[in-house]
Chains A and B, each alone.
Chain A
Amino acid sequence: MIYDQARYTDDETKHEPLLSEKDESTVEIGGSKRDSPLPDDLTRDELTVPSLSEPELARHYTRLSQMNWSIDSGPYPLGSCTMKYNPKFTEDVAADPNAAIHPDRSADSAQGNLGVLHGLQEYLATIGGMDAVTLQPPAGAAGEFTGILIAKAYHDHHGNNRSEVIIPASAHGTNFATAAMAGYDVVELPSDEGGRVDLEALKAAVSEETAALMLTNPNTVGLFERDIVEIAETVHDVGGLLYYDGANLNALLGRGRPGDMGFDIMHYNVHKTFATPHGGGGPGAGPVGVVEELSKFLPRPRVRETDDGDYEQFAPEKSIGKVHGFGGNWLVLIKAYAYIARLGDEGLSDASAKAVLNANYLAEQLAMEVPFGPFHHEFAATAGDRDAADVAKRMLDFGVHPPTTKWPEMVPEAMLTEPTEIESRRTLDTLAEAFNAAYADSDEAIETAPSRTTASRIDQVSAARNPRLSWQALDDE
């Protein structure tokens, strides 16, 4: 397939102009022009903001949208990102005006919202094999942070001041940053030759200092940690906790639950597994599930059902407190509830089955080697002696989004690919053609790609060397 992206080109120097290049209006606030309700010393002097009509803005944003790729445009197989289709009806459900209420309302007057929160807590608990769930963390990384704070509170409660969190080298960068933010030293664990946790290295790494092991399963090249029971025992034997990074949960729905594998704490990425839209980077939501013993440390408030079928909020006995100013990304949580309800048991299991089928089928069509397997919902192909980032740029010209590139590092020139369950065989074939054509293309072709996108290859180095982060910075030049 060939794709020509929309490109509104204003002149030789730019595409669609900035709002500020279309209008700059200044309002003077102090002085006699306005009948200000505040004395001058409490106000700013003036405000300069573009002031355009609604039709001009409708065109501006329509044009910007046309210069943007999305899952509704075509395949978006970013590994570890789970870009699946976002059902339209979930938007309508979340837009219910009755759900748009203030977070400080009394529980009595917010029974509907509490009911949805309770329902989603229950769904996520059963899906993860966990005993209790908080919906407060507003993103996956916030969920990780919540989980590690819970681990810390648990150890503190037992009088153990532990200093280390163990993380496999192949883990998401957020794991390392999260552990450091919580004040832990990071112990990086090497992979074995097969790409999984090196059990002997883990046994050597654990100690009385181990607060937790953070693990993604299947891992970031799609491999299931077959030794998971022994891994869990190894960590539990020294009194540590096992944390499950939910980024790859889309591989396991209905076939394996973190709670059954020995995990004590997990987060769910509802914007991955449960199909809420990514919105160009967020909002997502990162609920956290825990085993019973840890439920008393969950953030406050939690929601429970009373004997007479009402819902009430309560603070867990040893709550870590709060991780979001209010209750998290409410609108996202509604969409996740609706998606899970739409799929039910069979749909959830089928989503994972088809996600794994699609990844395996796609890999089979590729000219590139896939060093590690058997993989599940994602795989890391290697571009070998080609530059994976260049191959990816060339793919942009073929009407597909490329995979995640050059990560994880255990695969040289990695192209981490996750097609998800939403692609048909025909689309997978098209995607494979794009991979193979880009991979086989000449050095010159891939180094100068893309050409059919709104922007051609962008100079990343000068963007960082000479940071210009606002239209004001451009004006100053």
Chain B
Amino acid sequence: MTDTDGSPFAPHTADETAAMLAELGVDSEADLFDIPETVAFDGEFGIDSRSEQEIRGELQRLFARNDDLTEFMGRGHYSHYVPSLVDHLSDRAEFLTSYTQYQPEITQGFLQALFEYQSMVVELTGLPVANCSMYDAATGLAEAALLADRVRETTGDTVLVPEYLRDGKRSVLENYVAGAGLTVETYPMADGNVDRAALADLAGDETVMIYAENPTVRGTIEEGLDEIGEIATESEALFCLSSDLVALSLLEEPAGVGADVVVGEADVLGLPTSYGMGLGIFATKEEFLRQVPGRLVGVSEDQNERRAYTLTLQTREQHIRKERATSNICTNQAWVALRAAMHIAMLGADGLVDLAEDCVREAAALAEQVDELSGYQAPVHDRHHFREFVVRSDQPAKAVAERLEAAGFGVHAVDDHLLQLCVTETNAHATDELLAALQEAS
């Protein structure tokens, strides 16, 4: 038995502790600490230790205070059904409780899984280099801008981003690029999509990077991506395109429209709705390989001449290059990448494309039904949509969202009279109830 007053995860018996202390020639653990009296602390945090059972009960009761809503919410955080295999296999302790693969000979399994994840991202983006994760889509975008700044051949200092952009992405981007002396400027949207004429006018010598999303944060599917790529090329700026793993399975391949960097939400697969926790895609062209942030898994051979995987090109990274590193990132989202790869593997090619096509069909079908209600017009933008779309409401959007919440539904209010609805296989069963509640709320 361990000492009951101590950490339940320190296995020392009182006798063992005494024997170890005796061997070190000290009376107590306190004698091993070299902390001056003036800054010592008495150990009283005021945190009561609870049993495992008590904590589970406490948190169950606390989480039950969240309202039981059926969410029709997206805008950068999505819900897709995660197959049970993903939980069961990713939760194997050999994966979950391992560290970064600094000793590759003994961590081949995780390295191979990450190599497979990178390969899946390469297939989906068409770009030949993908890292094994960023924290989320926002930090991936920010790192893309820093990469663009490092590789630019012109002297510009502007990153152009769309008018419709999550506050989180824009703020993270501004925080990351400020130190490099870049500023973020906005280009307008036209009926949901990039206003390409306006973008062409704004882009120029000062532009380091043009950022666009497909689908956009309002769920519309872009129609002129290759033109955006051309605008970027003409201004010698990089074209950074954001998407997600499901949308990439169906929509135009980024490499084919001139994207230099692809970022976005990889967490759409492998992670259930998790209050904003993410997994950031980062893929780019061969020529920028040595400017990539984050970890890369590559292939080599072991002494027996068998294929072996290892973290590689580490001279880009902070633990080697310090202040000249491509990024400060160290801990990443490896386990989430493992889960995303498992989910992709479970879906397979047909499953991925089916899922993506359903995201188009279900959004269109729900928009049509909402449009039939009195007091609403949908979709507001005359575009194809992916998962989500904007609804015009005669009533103030905030009031409608509040009434829907009272009726058990979570939706976004994105402007005075604009709501946004997101539909996937996890909430499609409840669209009739949502429609009834919308009608009631109008």
Contact = CB atoms under 8 A, between A and B. Distances in A.
Interface stretch (A254-262, A287-295, A433-441): A254-262
Interface string B305-340: 111101011110111111111011111111110100
Nearest to B120: A49
A14 interface: yes
Interface in A334-367: 334, 337-338, 340-351, 353-354, 356-357, 360-361, 364
Given A27-B353, A57-B345, A103-B275, A19 B133 contact: no
Contacts of B400: none
A472 B122 contact: yes
20 contacts: A38-B250, A109-B405, A138-B135, A142-B135, A174-B330, A181-B328, A183-B180, A224-B33, A256-B41, A279-B334, A325-B138, A326-B77, A331-B274, A347-B7, A348-B47, A361-B20, A423-B11, A455-B105, A464-B315, A470-B130
Contact of A361 (B24, B90, B136, B321): B24
Interface stretch (B171-179, B202-210, B231-239): B171-179
A106 B130 contact: no
A351 B9 contact: yes
A310 B65 CA distance: 10
Contact of A325 (B43, B118, B278): B278
B375 interface: no
A36 B90 CA distance: 33
B329 A141 contact: yes
A334 B59 CA distance: 9
B77 A458 contact: no
B135 A467 contact: no
A99 B89 CA distance: 22
Interface in B230-282: 249-253, 256, 272-278
Contact of A322 (B107, B138, B179): B138
Nearest to A362: B20
Given A102-B73, A344-B50, A351-B9, A396 B296 contact: no
Contacts of A286: 331
Interface string B92-110: 1111111111111111111
B216 to A, nearest CB: 13
Contacts of A126: 45-47
Contact of B342 (A57, A186, A392, A454): A57
Contacts of B105: 393, 396, 450, 453-458
Contacts of B252: 41-44
A115 interface: yes
Contacts of B96: 70, 86, 91, 277, 279-280
With most chain A CB atoms within 10 A of its CB, the pick from B30, B93, B346 is B93
A328 interface: yes
B67 interface: yes
Contacts of B155: none
Nearest to A373: B34
A166 to B, nearest CB: 12
A472 B128 contact: yes
Contact of A456 (B49, B83, B302, B410): B302
B250 A455 contact: no
Contacts of B303: 448, 456-457, 459
B349 interface: yes
B98 A254 contact: no
A283 interface: yes
B425 interface: no
Given A181-B328, A343-B7, A98 B63 contact: yes
